[in-house]
Chain A
C-alpha cells in the first residue's frame, strides 16, 4: 500500500478491537507507559500476545514493583515520518504478575527470553480494559 496516498489528504480511521489484536499479534516490540512517583515512565519492551493479552517478561525487580497491579498503557505502531501515514494501537489496563503455575508453564513456551540469563524472571500480563487503534492513510 505504499505510494497510494495523496499529499495533504490523509484519512484517519479508527481500528476495530479485532484489527488491533491482529496488529498486536504480528508485532513484538512495544512501549510500556506507567506512572512512578507521579511521573510518567516510558520504555520499550519485547512482548508477545498470549491468549489475547499482552505479556512481557522481566528480570528487573524495580520495574515489576512499579507496574504490578498498576494502570499501564502499552503502545505499538508502524508510522512513516515522511508520508505521515501508518497505524498505532494502545492497550490500557492493569499490569499483573502471572503467578498461576499452569499459566506460567504455558508462558515459558513463548519465545520470550530474558536478557539476563540465570536471574529469576517474572511474567507480567496486561489485563486490558480498553484496546484502541487508528490508521492513517
Chain B
C-alpha cells in the first residue's frame, strides 16, 4: 500500500456476501448447456442461505439446469464513487419441492424476469460463496482478474 492511487480488491467473508445478496434481487445465472456457457439474468430471493428463483420449464436453460453445477453472480457498482462489489455463488441447482418452502416463498418469492407462466422454483444450495469489494476507484480494465 503506497498511496492514494492504490486500488484494492478486498475479499468478503461469507456472512458479508449473504448480507449483500439479500440487498439485491437480480442476478445472473451461468450454466453449461451442450458444453457451451450460457448466462441469463434472473430475479431471485435469498431463502435459508440459498438462492431461490423461478424458471420456465419450457426454456432452453431449464432442461440443462436440474442437478447441474451453476455459477450465480450478483454485483453492484457505484459509477460515481467508482466502487462496488461482486458475489459469486457456486452450487448445483435443484427443484424446490418441499411444501413448506413453496408456501414460504410462494407469495413473496421472486417473479420471473420475463413475463409468462414460469412455474418451476429452483434453489442453488451453495458449495461456495465468494465475494470481493472494490475500493478506491473502479479499474477500467478487468474488475476481478
Contact = CB atoms under 8 A, between A and B. Distances in A.
Nearest to A31: B28
B145 A79 contact: no
Contacts of B43: 81, 84
Contacts of A116: 145
Interface of B: 7, 9, 24-26, 28, 30-32, 35-41, 43, 69-73, 75, 77, 86, 88, 90, 111, 113-116, 138-145
A44 interface: yes
B141 A59 contact: yes
B113 A79 contact: yes
A92 B30 CA distance: 13
A77 B26 CA distance: 10
Give the size category of A's interface with B: 35 or more
Contacts of A104: none
B129 to A, nearest CB: 13
Contact of A42 (B24, B71, B115): B71
Contacts of B113: 79, 84, 136
Contacts of B70: 40
Nearest to B69: A39
A57 B142 contact: yes
Interface string A26-59: 0011010111001111111110000000001111
A88 B27 CA distance: 12
Contacts of A56: 141-142
Contact of A44 (B35, B37, B38, B73): B73
Given A41-B71, A44-B86, A33 B143 contact: no
Contact of B115 (A12, A29, A44): A12
B85 to A, nearest CB: 10
B32 A45 contact: no
A43 B28 contact: no
Give the 4 A-B residue pairs with the shortest CB-CB distance, closest first: A115-B139, A81-B25, A60-B145, A42-B30
